């Protein structure tokens, strides 16, 4: 097992996401809204997403999962801990 503990979850900060300009964050915001709708999970300040979903989002943003993770960290939408969640990709 990793000395740093279990693989962290990918947790999207929905309040931060809502503050970002649509040109940047629109695709991610629509994706997150779809997941919330599928789960019936509307009241959260954060949303835990699947690792698979980060792969799909990377395709949408035409980046590698690592590059997209760095961008989402720079936007404040993902915690820097999320880096460890994509190392296993």
Biggest distance spanned by C-alpha atoms of the chain: 40
Secondary structure (3-state) at 49: strand
By CB under 6 A, is residue 44 in contact with ligand C2E? yes
Min dist. Cβ of residue 1 to ligand C2E (A): 15
Min dist. Cβ of residue 14 to ligand C2E (A): 9
CA distances from 32 to 35, 79, 81, 86 (A): 5, 16, 20, 18
Min dist. Cβ of residue 34 to ligand C2E (A): 8
Sites of contact with ligand C2E (CB under 6 A): 9, 11, 35, 38-39, 41, 44, 46-51, 53
């Amino acid at each position: 097992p990793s000395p740093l503990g279990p693989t962290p979850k990918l947790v999207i900060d929905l309040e931060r996401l809502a503050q970002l300009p649509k040109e940047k964050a629109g695709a991610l915001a629509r994706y997150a809204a779809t997941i919330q709708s599928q789960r019936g999970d509307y009241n959260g300040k954060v949303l835990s997403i699947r690792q698979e979903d980060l792969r799909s989002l990377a395709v949408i943003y035409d980046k590698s999962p690592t590059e997209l993770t760095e961008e989402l960290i720079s936007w404040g939408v993902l915690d820097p801990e999320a880096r460890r969640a994509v190392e296993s990709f």
